[in-house]
Structure 1
Amino acid sequence: MWRRSASFILDKHQNNKPMSLTPSIDSPPPLSASVADENPSPNHISAYYQTRAAHHEIVTSDWLEQAQAAVRRYPDQDSPVSEKPFSVIEEFNKWRQQPALAEAVAAIRALAAVIRASDGNTMMELEIELKKASDTLKAWDTTSISLTAGCDLFMRYVTRTSALEFEDFNSAKSRVLGRAEKFGEISNKARTIIAMLSQDFIFDGCTILVHGFSRVVFEVLKTAAQNKKLFRVLCTEGRPDKTGLLLAKELAKLDVPVKLLIDSAVAYCMDEVDMVFVGADGVVESGGVINMMGTYQIAIVAHSMNKPVYVAAESYKFARLYPLDQKDLEPALRPIDFGVAVPLKVEVERSARDYTPPQFLTLLFTDLGILTPSVVSDELIQLYS
């Protein structure tokens, strides 16, 4: 279980609701039979792997009337609903079909659509509807850090506008929608900004080690190739899904010299490396990162040999989380095929990601700027203040 900072205590009652045993068309697909037969487990493959603050106000009678009206208008999710003209999950899945669009950005686009589709008559109703939609998206995959962080940042950003600033509700709603669309555009351009900021650190003749297929890291390397920089890349294979092989193919199309490594050859080849570039599924309060399994050990090897480790991560992946060790991570499970039958008595580690502490990282390239790990907590305070 995640240990969250003392400054952000979540209401736990939602986590105590009974889980439905009825499968949904929007639920992540179950574990494949070949893996499930050999390694029975009550857990399913996480949707994360499949895809990759309350305000304290003065309570007035008008406020209570709006709140009661909103609750009556939007009943609890457990109550039967006769008609659902708009589904935030369907909207989210529509945006997710775009290969270049990150999962968190797809959620941001879906939440903006909630504002457009809302027929609420007060800011209270609109905020409650947005909160329910955000909670629905976060519950769709509780293991996705970027999805949760993106929804939280969206809610914090767009609800800063108060209805009291405007003459009528329509003006307030238009301002909220404008903020939502602006936030979506900023998030969508994050990779381009990161790629531009990182170019001064890639020099002619350098060798870069990458791990897995991070779209933002690929954007960094693609921009460097387009700028006619001469460099080569060492790609780990990224088993079991061979994401490193996919990245190597894309880099080869750009005529970038690439060497493919087996994952266990990282230490063997580290003396050839000038820098390590990795992506992140989440950047936590300590300045550490959560990323594809194997990132931690690569960072340890690079640190021991005085090689800089750079992280490329969009600001919507900044999460108010504080893991202390690997066991604090909620497992994001994946299927693993060893090519041979695994005996039933043999346990298989199927987690898809690990946690790299900040002392093994050099710099983080973000759309907020180039940061040291120690600055991340300050940036989180600004993002959520």
Structure 2
Amino acid sequence: MTQQDTDHEDPLVLQDLRRFLANKQQDPPSLFDTSAMAVPVAAISALLGVVERSQAETMMGLQDDLKQAADCMIQNHPQVIAVRSGCELFLRYSTRTFLELPNFSECKKQILERGERFQMISLAARDRIAKAAADFIPAGATVLTTGWSRVVAAILREAKHPFDLLVCEGRPDASGAKAAACYARESNIPVKVILDSAVAYYMEKVDLVLVGAEGVLENGGVVNKLGTATMAMCAKANGKPFYVAAESYKFARLYPLHQSDVPVNHQTVQCVDTTTMQTISWDEKITAENPSSDFTPAKYISLLFTDLGVLTPSAVSDELIRLYQ
């Protein structure tokens, strides 16, 4: 069966994914919006819609519908790894349910019920992470972060002692600057925005680095906002702890060895002189490209704060085995 709305060009599963990600968004968006769905959870919610609409009469037919829908989302959403991790978890879970319940109608019912419960548990993951990680921020610390991360925001809000926050601006989409505006508007955290290129300059003044993740990979490394890997290397060189906060539904079965092994979205960008707000023009032979994310190897990561507990990078593979067994 094709999950296609005849009145729209995009498949229904893509429409659902965008709707779940847009639902209940505040204006302006808030880092502290507890109802906002992470991309993997939105992908799982979209797959539940596929189960509900499917006209398949066999488990194999339903699995085919789910696989086609998952492939469609992975190919058409910019956060490839986040969508992939949610889809793989759901597909593995559905396969296990098929094996446990040979009756097709009962199996389909169980998939929907358990999927809805998973949605509720996943939305609470940030709170569990925040409670586990807050004690790692000492009184008077200077914390460096980058990007737009609700789980990082939850940790910072949960911190027991006053601290200062440095946020990288996050070009080209200014995600860090937008996050800083949110911190200033909705919290009492003293915040300063720094240039992405100033990470090495400020690192000696930092006590710890805390970032989120688009995906946590089998080798204990992470994929996150472009510039995260540079930040991790600078932290390592300066002897500063580098912490990653990520929900377990972002764990993905990928084992990259190089940056090029990680699927990321590439954008063509304009270069702007931000002192004059003038766009730089150049010869047509020159192109400007910006990968959306980069890969930070495990050797640069001190600890990962997850809803499964505080993990070392080497423990990630064990947790992935438990998730997908």
TM-score, length-normalised on structure 1? 0.73
One of 228, 232, 235 as aligned partner of 2:164: 232
Aligned equivalent of 1:244: 176
One of 245, 270, 288 as aligned partner of 2:203: 270
Aligned equivalent of 2:194: 261
CA change 1:130–1:347 in 2 (3 A) is closer
* Long gaps (5+) in structure 2: 26-35, 272-278
One of 204, 212, 216 as aligned partner of 1:279: 212
Q: Is the 8 A contact 2:5 2:12 kept in 1?
A: no
One of 317, 341, 344 as aligned partner of 2:250: 317
Task: Say whether 1:351 aligns with 2:291.
Answer: yes
2:314 & 2:265 partners in 1: Cα distance? Answer: 27
* Long gaps (5+) in structure 1: 1-73
1:327 & 1:135 partners in 2: Cα distance? Answer: 21
One of 97, 120, 142 as aligned partner of 2:56: 120
1:367 & 1:164 partners in 2: Cα distance? Answer: 26
The correspondence of residues 143-154 of structure 1 with structure 2, limited to 5 A, is 144-154=80-90
Deviation larger for 272-281 or 129-138 = 129-138
Aligned equivalent of 2:238: 305
Q: Is the 8 A contact 1:163 1:172 kept in 2?
A: no
Q: Secondary structure at the match of 1:370?
A: strand
Aligned equivalent of 1:384: 324
CA change 1:372–1:125 in 2 (3 A) is same
Q: Give the CA deviation at 1:159.
A: 2.6
Q: Give the CA deviation at 1:364.
A: 0.6
Q: Is the 8 A contact 1:91 1:110 kept in 2?
A: yes
The correspondence of residues 33-72 of structure 1 with structure 2, limited to 5 A, is none
Q: Give the CA deviation at 1:81.
A: 10
Q: Secondary structure at the match of 2:156?
A: helix
CA change 1:242–1:181 in 2 (3 A) is same
2:281 & 2:93 partners in 1: Cα distance? Answer: 50
One of 150, 155, 164 as aligned partner of 1:215: 150
Q: Is the 8 A contact 1:158 1:180 kept in 2?
A: no
Q: Is the 8 A contact 1:311 1:363 kept in 2?
A: yes
Q: Give the CA deviation at 1:336.
A: 2.3
Structure 1 stretches of 4+ moved >6 Å? 80-84
Aligned equivalent of 1:110: 46
Cα RMSD (Å) of the superposition? 2.4
One of 59, 66, 69 as aligned partner of 1:130: 66
Deviations 1:285-334 (A, max 9, x none): 11011111111111111111110000011112111111111222334122
Task: Say whether 1:89 aligns with 2:14.
Answer: yes
Deviations 1:355-381 (A, max 9, x none): 111110000111111110011111111
2:319 & 2:297 partners in 1: Cα distance? Answer: 18
Q: Secondary structure at the match of 1:341?
A: coil
Q: Secondary structure at the match of 2:282?
A: coil
CA change 1:190–1:81 in 2 (3 A) is closer
Deviations 1:5-36 (A, max 9, x none): xxxxxxxxxxxxxxxxxxxxxxxxxxxxxxxx
Larger radius of gyration: 1
Deviations 1:193-240 (A, max 9, x none): 21121111122211100012222212221233xx5x311101111122
Q: Secondary structure at the match of 2:210?
A: strand
1:273 & 1:336 partners in 2: Cα distance? Answer: 30
Q: Secondary structure at the match of 2:255?
A: coil
How many residue pairs were aligned?
304
Q: Is the 8 A contact 2:167 2:194 kept in 1?
A: yes
Report the AA paired with residue 95 of structure 1. F
Structure number having the greater strand percentage: 2
Q: Secondary structure at the match of 1:128?
A: helix
Report the AA paired with residue 324 of structure 1. L
Aligned equivalent of 1:189: 124
Aligned equivalent of 1:289: 222
Q: Secondary structure at the match of 1:334?
A: strand
Q: Give the CA deviation at 1:82.
A: 8.0
Q: Is the 8 A contact 2:130 2:158 kept in 1?
A: yes
Aligned equivalent of 1:43: none
Deviation larger for 208-217 or 322-331 = 322-331
Report the AA paired with residue 188 of structure 1. L
Report the AA paired with residue 109 of structure 1. S
CA change 1:360–1:114 in 2 (3 A) is same
CA change 1:123–1:330 in 2 (3 A) is closer
Q: Secondary structure at the match of 1:205?
A: coil
Q: Give the CA deviation at 1:136.
A: 2.3
2:39 & 2:141 partners in 1: Cα distance? Answer: 32
